[in-house]
Amino acid sequence: MSSKNATSVAIITRTRDRALLLRRALDSVARQTFRDYHLVIVNDGGDPAAVDALVATHPDLSQVSVIHNPESVGRERAATVGIAGSTSEFIAILDDDDSWANDYLEVTVSWLRTHSDGAVAVRTEVVTEKVDADTIVEIGREMLKPSSYEVTLSDILHTNYVPPSSMLVRRDAYLSVGGWDGSKTANADWDFMLRLLRAHTVGFVDGPPRAFWHHRHSEDGPLGNSVFAAAHEHLQAEQVIRETYLKRALETGDPVGYLAFIAGLVKNLDTTVWQRLNIVADRLEQGDDHRYGSRLGEQIARIDQLLNRLDQNLDLLDRIREERARSPIRRIGHATRQLTSKLFGGVDPDATDPPRHRV
């Protein structure tokens, strides 16, 4: 462990028994063109000797400290342990299975020093891979949310498309909104983003991808990506966060709680409808429209029932908030009905609702 001199950026990396992945993350930090950083590795209950040995192979790291938790405190609390163990103007989280372009810190620090945003995110690429023995094998790449050119509260209420490894945050902004909630089992990054965006703007650096979010769909255990290996845990945590915000809204009138609830309905609708329509499209492409005609009709009817049920939920919210005319549910419901009507007929969309196109 090196001495903790004041630096511009604290990089927090959480890890546990994933030396193969951690090596890549350390390589990524060592290659940064911006050198005024302090890397804090939080070994959350893993083998201390393996982490220390790996750090020893990277003398090119500017400044590094290792915190060994004797027992695991969980992913989210491990992040708070690392942040508390650092002092810096800016905070970055680089998960042990993710990586950065060489100029990631240079570009993001420059942005925050020339803009007033509380944080800044970068264009991110999703890298699909698998682990074969002691080798990481890349399968493919695709840009994360390529149609997005900004980070907004309205979008983040639906889905957090800014992974922790894709954003640099001012420490003052981090502290002003209460920081990362380590008591959560998952999705603490999403909860933090909701609070951050209420109080601050988040800038966005376009251009080539500078953060790489690595996914291993087929892996579980220590090498798994938590978004997939712990998918159910993530879903439950998201529901708890939305429920907490809604209850707070009912008690205090905080509008974000209502918006989080509506966004959750939209997300469920989006997932259900488009899953069913993709099934329909696949079967039509296979020429099975006659064989499955009856079942497709049932699926379309089911979609319509879901829309009607969401309309009923919306009516309740409309009475609470008196904002029926601007309801995003009705706009999305109208757009979905229009699509199914064009494909199959028999659905009569409400012509008075303005359409909203799916991105």
pTM of the model: 0.74
- Least Cα distance to 349 among 340, 329, 357, 265 occurs for 340
Considering all CA atoms of the chain, what is the largest pairwise distance in Å, rounded to the nearest integer? Answer: 72
CATH architecture classification, 7-228: Alpha-Beta Complex (3.90)
- For the chain, count helices (H), then strands (E): 12, 11
Domain boundaries, the chain: 7-228, 253-344
- Least Cα distance to 257 among 153, 152, 330 occurs for 153
Q: What is the signed CA dihedral for 39, 42, 48, 50, rounded to 10 degrees?
A: -60
User: What CA–CA distances, in Å, run from 55 to 29, 41, 84, 131, 263?
Assistant: 12, 9, 21, 22, 43
Q: In this predicted structure, what is the pLDDT of residue 237? A: 84
Per-residue pLDDT of the chain (359 residues; tens, 9 = 90+): 444 567 999 999 999 999 999 999 999 999 999 999 999 999 999 999 999 999 999 999 989 999 999 999 999 999 999 999 999 999 999 999 999 999 999 999 999 999 999 999 999 999 999 999 889 999 999 999 998 899 999 889 888 899 999 999 999 999 999 999 999 888 999 999 999 999 999 999 999 999 999 998 766 666 666 555 556 777 888 888 888 888 988 888 888 888 887 887 777 776 666 666 666 666 666 665 555 556 666 666 776 677 666 666 666 655 555 544 444 555 555 555 555 555 555 444 444 333 333 33
* Rounded to 5°, angle at Cα 342 from 282 and 303: 65
pLDDT in tens, 35-54: 999 999 999 999 999 999 99
Please check whether residue 52 is in contact with residue 21, taking contact to mean a CB–CB distance below 8 angstroms.
no
Q: What is the signed CA dihedral for 340, 345, 350, 351, rounded to 10 degrees?
A: 100
Instruction: Give the Cα separation of 94 and 186 in Å (integer).
Output: 16
Please check whether residue 224 is in contact with residue 97, taking contact to mean a CB–CB distance below 8 angstroms.
no
Radius of gyration of the chain (CA): 23
